[in-house]
Amino acid sequence: MSGHQSGHTIHRTQHHLGWNNAFPPRLVVAPGETVEFKTVDASGGQISPKSTVADVAAMDFGKVNPVSGPVYIDGAEPGDAVKVTILDFTPSGWGWTANIPGFGLLADDFKEPALHLWKYDPGTMAPAAFGPGGRVPLKPFCGTIGLAPAEPGLHSIVPPRRVGGNMDIRDMSAGTELYLPVEVAGGLFSVGDTHAAQGDGEVCGTAIESQMNVAAKFELVKKANLDFPRYRIRGPISSHRDAKGYDVTTGIGPDLMQGARDAVSGMIRLLSKRHGLAAIDAYLLCSVAGDLRISEIVDMPNWVVSFYFPRIVFE
């Protein structure tokens, strides 16, 4: 941790699978207090630094994305918002990216499991090496961060929802202030699925999945009446990748999802040809380092989706 004294700790054993507002809180905090969360990686320990692709094929989806918590924020009531300030991360130094069959934007094109293991320096956070000469700039963030939904029972952690959850927003990084709509008393906050790097879109379905501890501060905004989460970013969002510019491919047509597929497929072909990468490796690299953007959504009937890949990865 970098200078923040955490008032409370959620330990690695204090995690849960799925969202359920009946899960008892592990901790009660007053607004203004901080908590350090010792998280579990997104595989729930099913992938290790010694894993092979066979571990991806055998992965139990019922154990993915464990989240640490829940934390009860004193005084939080439905209609309020919990303001979460992400203070900092304590990285582990290793991570993984996988293609999981049936999952990801191009699941129809990439049907076989794939796994890339990463090592990085948790002190310097220097770019992580990938294959023949590529280096991915790192920026830690929380993939899953949210509150418990009002609807009773157990809910899958995979899809995000109004109260947050597995949003996979790559800017949930140190300094970001996230406002989450409260649906149940105390909010019941949990966090996990920490990543060392990801592009906007997380196109293969995984980022650089990497266990990290997370420190966060909790505040309360009464009667905020948010429809959905909102967040404030305190500084530049892509300065770690901007230095050498970008290559950009596009998809154009009447369907945004197909446009996204076409833009990413175009970048996979470009990277494969230029750098001699296998298509699956280019796909994993696009997920952790490139950004999908909607360039134009008004010139009917065709919309433009662009995929930005930072040239710094190979230069």
What's the CATH number where 283 sits?
A: 3.10.28.20
Region 289-301: what's the mean pLDDT? 98
The confidence score (pLDDT) of residue 132 equals: 61
Q: Mean pLDDT for the chain? A: 95
Asked whether residue 250 is domain-assigned, the answer is yes
The confidence score (pLDDT) of residue 117 equals: 95
- Let me know: does 73 contact 29? Beta carbons within 8 Å: yes
Helix, strand or coil, per DSSP, at residue 250: strand
Region 206-226: what's the mean pLDDT? 97
Rounded Cα distance between 313 and 246, Å, is: 10
Q: How far is CA 253 from CA 264, 290, 292, 309, in A?
A: 14, 21, 15, 21
Asked whether residue 268 is domain-assigned, the answer is yes
| Alpha-carbon dihedral sign for residues 193, 195, 198, 204 | negative
| Same domain for 37 and 169 | yes
- Let me know: does 89 contact 140? Beta carbons within 8 Å: yes
pLDDT band at residue 191 under the 50/70/90 scheme? very high
Asked whether residue 277 is domain-assigned, the answer is yes
| Same domain for 57 and 178 | yes
Region 192-218: what's the mean pLDDT? 97
Asked whether residue 54 is domain-assigned, the answer is yes
| Same domain for 123 and 34 | yes
pLDDT, tens digit, for every residue of 233-259? Answer: 999 999 999 999 999 999 999 999 999
pLDDT band at residue 156 under the 50/70/90 scheme? very high
Asked whether residue 3 is domain-assigned, the answer is no
**Domain housing 51:** 8-232
**Can you tell me which residue has the tokens 């909102």?**
230
Helix (H) or strand (E) holding 8: strand 8-10
Region 74-97: what's the mean pLDDT? 97
pTM: 0.95
Whole-number CA gyration radius for the chain: 19
- Let me know: does 88 contact 1? Beta carbons within 8 Å: yes
Asked whether residue 44 is domain-assigned, the answer is yes
Region 125-140: what's the mean pLDDT? 87
| Same domain for 204 and 132 | yes
| Same domain for 270 and 169 | no
Q: By percentage, how much of the chain surpasses pLDDT 70?
A: 97
| Final residue of a structural domain among 232, 265, 298 | 232
The confidence score (pLDDT) of residue 1 equals: 39
Largest interatomic CA distance in the chain: 57
| Same domain for 263 and 224 | no
DSSP 23: S
- Let me know: does 235 contact 175? Beta carbons within 8 Å: yes
β pairing state of 94-99 and 81-91: unpaired
The confidence score (pLDDT) of residue 7 equals: 84
Q: Which two tokens stand for residue 275?
A: 């750098």
| Same domain for 133 and 65 | yes
| Same domain for 191 and 122 | yes
HSE-up of 31 (CA within 13 Å, CB side)? 13
Asked whether residue 238 is domain-assigned, the answer is no
| Same domain for 201 and 165 | yes
- Number of folded domains that form the chain: 2
The confidence score (pLDDT) of residue 3 equals: 44
pLDDT tops 60 at residue 226: yes
Region 282-311: what's the mean pLDDT? 98
| Same domain for 260 and 167 | no
Region 47-58: what's the mean pLDDT? 95
Rounded Cα distance between 192 and 41, Å, is: 7
Dihedral pair phi/psi, residue 124, rounded to 5°: -85, -20
Rounded Cα distance between 54 and 288, Å, is: 22
pLDDT tops 80 at residue 133: no
pLDDT tops 50 at residue 2: no
| Final residue of a structural domain among 232, 257, 288 | 232
| Final residue of a structural domain among 170, 205, 232 | 232
| Same domain for 108 and 173 | yes
Region 217-221: what's the mean pLDDT? 98
CATH of the domain at 27: 2.60.120.580
Reported residue count of the chain is 315
- Let me know: does 39 contact 212? Beta carbons within 8 Å: yes
Asked whether residue 142 is domain-assigned, the answer is yes
| Same domain for 64 and 142 | yes
